[in-house]
């Protein structure tokens, strides 16, 4: 026994250290995933008995216009939310200088990420308010008609994404600021000697060195886009007439809200959301794997 431990210590020890994490992860993450997938084949109101109905929940999803709107909005979120990455980069480049009081400016730029999403949502709701919101005051000052962004089905999602971009840009900016600290000065000087300036310097010298920061910023932003919930709940409650819902919000409404309690249907929406996330998670895992092998 003792010699077995001695011979295999290096192999076993990591697993012992990993065990608590693996246990928790399987119990609270992996197991519920399979539980949800299972639940999506049932009809259940959360109180009575569960009835097995096969793939009927999924068939219903295909014919559910609210689901399709939510899916479309999720895709808009995914694409537009990524604007936070370049925006964060430029904010970081702008702030990456040594001026008196720069720390105060950095803190102020980072501020939206520190405050709660609820506050962000409220601030933007007031900003968009149709009668006395700042946006409409400005629009009217320039002679445009006022517009109730949060009550227009065509604009509402973009309005909420703009609110979401504010804190997300701050987050990406911090990631880039830390990245910029570790940019190799010698390479920049070498670039200077080779007459690289401005955009070319950024593109060919700085950005490649920021690759790890970019990778994390993109991953965090995509996950943030798929998880978007708080802002929608605070700013519109999914409205007007359901046109600003995303899958996570629709799932919550169908499963847990006052008018929901269709657990099976909610689970089916969650499974679709999981599938979308899997595309990204798989890509990320593959890239991590490839990078670690050093290809």
Residues that bind another protein (CB under 8 A): 45-48, 60, 65, 128-131, 148, 150-151, 236-237, 239-242, 253, 256-262
Nearer to another protein, 191 or 240 (CB): 240
Q: Least Å distance between CB 269 and another protein?
A: 14
**Cβ distance to another protein smaller for residue 258 or 292:** 258
* Count, residues in the chain: 295
d(CA 78, CA 248): 13
Is the Cβ–Cβ distance between 60 and 267 less than 8 Å? no
Answer yes or no: are the C-beta atoms of 145 and 166 closer than 8 Å. no
The CB density around residue 44, as the number of other CB atoms within 10 Å, is: 20
Query: Of the two residues 32 and 46, which places its CB atom closer to another protein in the complex?
Result: 46
Closest contact distance (angstroms) between CB of 138 and another protein is: 17
> Who's near 45: CB < 8 A, 6+ residues apart?
261, 262, 263
What is the closest distance, in whole angstroms, from the C-beta atom of residue 270 to another protein in the complex? 17
Give the residue with the Cβ less far from another protein, 98 or 131: 131
Cα–Cα distance measured from residue 227 to residue 81, given in angstroms and rounded to the nearest whole number: 11
Adjacent-strand bridge partners of 43: 51
How distant, in Å, are the alpha carbons of 58, 79, 115, 121, 166 from that of 173? 40, 19, 16, 20, 11
Least spacing, CB of residue 181 vs another protein, in Å: 44
* Nearest-angstrom CA–CA distance, 79 and 210: 21
In whole angstroms, the minimum distance from the beta carbon of 48 to another protein comes to: 5
Residue closer to another protein by CB (options 224, 237) is 237
Nearer Cβ to another protein (153/184)? 153
What tokens appear for 123 in the block? 């601030």
Distance in Å, CB of 131 to another protein, minimum = 7
Separation between Cα atoms, residue 245 and residue 133, nearest integer Å: 23
């Amino acid at each position: 026994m003792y010699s077995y431990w001695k011979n295999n210590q290096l192999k076993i020890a990591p697993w012992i250290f990993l065990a608590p994490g693996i246990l928790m992860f399987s119990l609270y993450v992996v197991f519920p995933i399979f539980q949800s997938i299972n639940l999506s084949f049932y009809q259940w109101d959360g109180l009575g008995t569960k009835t097995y109905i096969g793939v009927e929940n999924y068939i219903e999803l295909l014919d559910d216009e609210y689901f399709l709107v939510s899916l479309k909005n999720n895709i808009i979120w995914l694409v537009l939310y990524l604007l936070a990455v370049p925006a964060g980069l430029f904010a970081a480049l702008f702030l990456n200088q040594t001026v008196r009081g720069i720390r105060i400016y950095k803190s102020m730029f980072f501020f939206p990420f520190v405050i709660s999403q609820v506050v962000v949502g409220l601030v933007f709701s007031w900003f968009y308010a149709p009668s006395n919101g700042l946006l409409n005051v400005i629009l009217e000052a320039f002679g445009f008609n006022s517009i109730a962004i949060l009550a227009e089905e065509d604009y509402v999602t973009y309005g909420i994404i703009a609110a979401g971009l504010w804190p997300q840009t701050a987050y990406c900016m911090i990631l880039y600021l830390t990245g910029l600290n570790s940019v190799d000065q010698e390479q920049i000087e070498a670039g200077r000697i080779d007459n690289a300036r401005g955009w070319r310097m950024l593109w060919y010298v700085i950005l490649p060195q920021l690759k790890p920061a970019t990778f994390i910023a993109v991953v965090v932003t995509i996950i943030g886009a798929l998880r978007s919930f708080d802002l929608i709940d605070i700013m519109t409650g999914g409205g007007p007439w359901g046109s600003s819902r995303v899958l996570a919000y629709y799932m919550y409404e169908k499963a847990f809200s006052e008018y929901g309690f269709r657990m099976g249907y909610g689970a089916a929406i969650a499974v679709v959301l999981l599938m979308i996330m899997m595309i990204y998670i798989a890509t990320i895992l593959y890239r991590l794997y490839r990078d670690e092998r050093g290809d």
